[in-house]
A and B are shown apart, each in its own frame.
Chain A
Amino acid sequence: MGSCKTAATIVGALALSLAGSTLALAGDETETAATTLTREAPVPSVSQEQLSGAATDTNNFLHTNGNYDQTRYYQGKQINKSNVSKLRPAWIFQTEVKESLETTPIVVDGVMYVTTSFNHVYAIDAKTGEQFWHYKHKMGPVTTYCCGPNNRGVAIYKDKVYMGTLDAKLVALDAKTGSLIWETQLADPELGYSETMAPTAVDGKILIGTNGGEYGIRGFVRAYDAETGKQVWNFHTTPEDSTGVWATHDATGKDMHRDIAAEKAALKKMGDPYKTLGGGVWQNPAVDLKTKRIYFVVGNPSPDLDGSIRPGDNLYTDSLVSLDLDTGKYACHFQYIAHDVWDLDSVSPPILVDVKDKDGKTVPGVIHAGKTGNVYVHNRDDCSLIRFSEAMVDQTGMWTLPTAEGAPMLPGANGGVEWSVMAANPDLGLTYAVNLHQPMTYHVENSPYPGGKLWLGGAFKIIPGSEQFGNVTAVDYNTGKIKWQKKTPLPMMGGVLATAGGLVYTGEGDGWFRAYDAENGDVLWSFFAGAGVNAPAAAYSVDGKEYIVVGAGGNTQIDFKRGNNIIAFTAD
């Protein structure tokens, strides 16, 4: 893999196609094979300095999770508890794609970038909702993805925006025109690799992981050169010795009922399973600019439910991992669930905040919400666990081993907290998570590696007729206590935005988008979007006016009503 078309080749090809086959459309639009340009987006070059200062930049939303710490804490206060009741749509942009929407809008100087399922990218006027350009990725015939044709957004750096694609490419587009500048094939989609996460741009590098934990991939996080698309470094999320310490209990001290003797015998017979062990990375790494280290979480081992053919702890699946930003070299890790056979893995992106350690001393911390329904609080220096929160969901039966007939256990395999992003309010010391309650039975079956086909090693089944719901939970990460929790009628998937206006925003699968009081969880405002609000919100300002923006497109993974709207709200 890793074939990389050079910038010159692509630019040359594009120049030809522009000269030879540009179509004149109705109005002033022009169209190349991939891009419809209505008019150039008036966007400036985005410097590293701007990206580094994003946390306090209330005009822009420059990173998928707000800033390199990934707090999703927007410091604007114009929309606050006193006026949030006046929030109303400023504009609604309808995309061409009515399918699962998980994008976080990126906003730079009044220009917004959103993505949709099937890798469309739109540049929109963030003040009016009018389109600048629309890029439609020319998808390869083979795409292999488990949970919807999703995309979670672009990264921006200098004059380009970057997106990972379902056919396992990384593409760089001209931020002004949407023209393809370069594309790099990251891995072979026929072997189960795909991209749905938003990349992270830092220090001239584009960081990206891979999906494929349901297909027996070997997971990775990589850095690519932002200018050329050439690989800078690669880190395999499953090391050649993936056996670990044969942990019998999870991070919270619960017995996982492993048969260590049987695993050791299997290891002797079949060797280390690292080559097809999964370990996808679904969400952005957090970046510590001071120490030049990144922090991300690694997903489940392959196959999901059958541990008999993957003996050992299956490092670094279900783990927090830290690497050196410049080299990709391992720094530290912490595994939550060794030898996971429930797919209750780690997906929600880590957040960097200062936390109280066990002695009450403030230290640089990193927090993560697991599909287990616990928030884990770590020391950033060595990844060690400081504490874990009270369970945010029912964990009845944890850890009951899967059986051929199906064994019930909570939470179901979607969590707890799925890929949904948390937001943290450092002023209150609270982190906000959205959870699912979906009773499931866990079934195990045995089959050999199928060469890139779906490889679950069994099934997780929603128990028909069982009650499902969700919640929004505020956790004090300095104590692990739940500060407040609000039940929702449907399981929650998407994520949270917090603001200095004392508010927390999150959406629900039936179409409701709500603002909560950050301190006590009171619902202060609600809007019905007509389709599932399962994308995380963002915030920005144009001409001194603050906006909240969110996608309402439903969700494939848990089958919430599809739509195609990007909705921006103001409070006037």
Chain B
Amino acid sequence: MSRILHWALPAALFAATLLVGAEAFAADDIEQKAQICAGCHGADGVPINNTTPVIWGQDEGYIYLQLRDFKKGARKNPLMEPIAAQLEKADMFALAAYFKKKAWPNLGQPSAPGDVAAKAESAAKSIGCRGCHLDHFQGDGSTARLAGQWQPYLLNTMLAFRDGSRGNNPGMSDLMKATPEDDFEPLSKYLAGLQIDQYLGHGR
């Protein structure tokens, strides 16, 4: 229910921007193509609401795969599906590379208090979150950065994987189903409050 309400506001905005979007994607300039994204994900990288994910600085392969999945309908979203439908594979890779290079915004979310962090750590260790999302939850390649993402978005996403409404990663769905329900709130708060700028830049 709450997720439907969260979509209501940007939906109106998007009814308008979709028309603009059709023209934008006809142009070659990647900056221009990215403008449509700014409508919801923020012109400065800060999304217009906390149920819309940060994509500035997000991992490149992950952004590409989400756009691919929106286009083929594997991931459902009434706003993203029509936008992705206009994109070719090259556009998706170009947009992914463009946003990966942007600096992840500081959303100013608080660090989780000790007891919340401890519960989240225990939950993360239990299903091995860092095995894919890595040491600082920075993600890599096809795996999303979670650190510093909006807390409500993280919570909604974990629950959506769990109930299958987000259906484009059955492995994540299985892991969320194996996680007790009262772990999700601490996990989302802990991940949202992580500041990891000092750890970025290793590796790739």
Contacts and interface: CB of A to CB of B under 8 A. Distances in A.
B126 interface: yes
A522 interface: no
B178 interface: yes
Nearest to A138: B204
Given A118-B203, A142-B142, A144-B141, A556 B130 contact: yes
A462 B171 contact: no
A73 interface: no
Contacts of B93: 141
Contacts of A118: 140, 202-204
B178 A458 contact: yes
Contact of A462 (B100, B125, B132, B175): B125
B162 to A, nearest CB: 11
Nearest to B93: A141
A457 B97 contact: no
B169 interface: yes
A382 B125 CA distance: 42
Given A99-B203, A447-B174, A562-B135, A461 B126 contact: yes
Contacts of B65: 142, 190
Nearest to B177: A445
Determine which residue in B96, B126, B177 has the highest number of CB atoms from chain A within 10 A of its CB, and name it: B126
A101 to B, nearest CB: 12
A534 B134 CA distance: 16
Interface string B122-136: 110111101110110
A455 B170 contact: yes
Interface residues of A, number: 47
A445 B203 contact: no
A214 B171 contact: yes
A443 B168 CA distance: 20
B122 A464 contact: yes
Contacts of B64: 141-142
A190 B141 CA distance: 10
Contact of A461 (B127, B132, B141): B127
B6 to A, nearest CB: 25
Nearest to A458: B174
Contacts of A572: none
Contacts, number: 118
Contacts of A459: 127, 174-175, 177-178
A557 interface: yes
Nearest to A451: B74
Contact of A142 (B61, B128, B130): B61
Nearest to A442: B178
Contacts of B126: 461-464
Contact of B131 (A96, A139, A146): A146
Nearest to A559: B130
Contact of A556 (B123, B135, B142, B175): B135
Name which of B64, B168, B174, B202 has the most chain A CB atoms within 10 A of its CB. B174
Contact of A139 (B141, B170, B177): B141
A127 interface: no
Interface in B133-174: 134-135, 140-142, 168-174
Nearest to A462: B126
A214 B127 CA distance: 15
Contacts of B175: 456, 459
Contact of B202 (A97, A144, A189, A463): A97
A143 B202 contact: no
A495 to B, nearest CB: 19
Contact of B168 (A453, A462, A558): A453
Contacts of B130: 556, 559
Given A97-B202, A142-B141, A443-B177, A453 B134 contact: no
A244 interface: no
B73 to A, nearest CB: 12
Contacts of B60: 141
Contacts of B168: 450, 453
B134 A455 contact: no
Contact of A149 (B61, B172, B203): B203
B147 to A, nearest CB: 15
A144 B142 contact: yes
Contact of B97 (A141, A148, A458, A464): A141
Contacts of A166: 141
A81 to B, nearest CB: 38
A457 B135 contact: no
A562 B202 CA distance: 12
Interface in A463-491: 463-464
Given A139-B141, A139-B204, A454-B171, A406 B178 contact: yes
Contact of B61 (A143, A458, A463, A464): A143
Contacts of A139: 141, 204
A98 interface: yes
A453 B125 contact: no
B151 to A, nearest CB: 23
B135 A146 contact: no
A145 B128 CA distance: 14
Contacts of A140: 61
B171 A455 contact: yes
Contacts of A455: 170-171
In the A-B complex, the 7 residue pairs with the smallest Cβ-Cβ separation, listed nearest first, are: A454-B171, A143-B141, A118-B203, A447-B170, A459-B178, A142-B61, A141-B60
10 contacts: A99-B203, A143-B142, A146-B132, A453-B170, A454-B170, A454-B172, A462-B125, A462-B126, A462-B127, A559-B128
Interface of A: 96-99, 117-118, 120, 139-149, 166-167, 189-190, 214, 406, 441, 443, 445, 447-448, 450-451, 453-459, 461-464, 556-559, 562
Given A139-B141, A447-B174, 11 more contacts: A141-B93, A141-B141, A142-B64, A143-B140, A143-B142, A145-B132, A146-B132, A454-B169, A454-B170, A459-B178, A557-B131
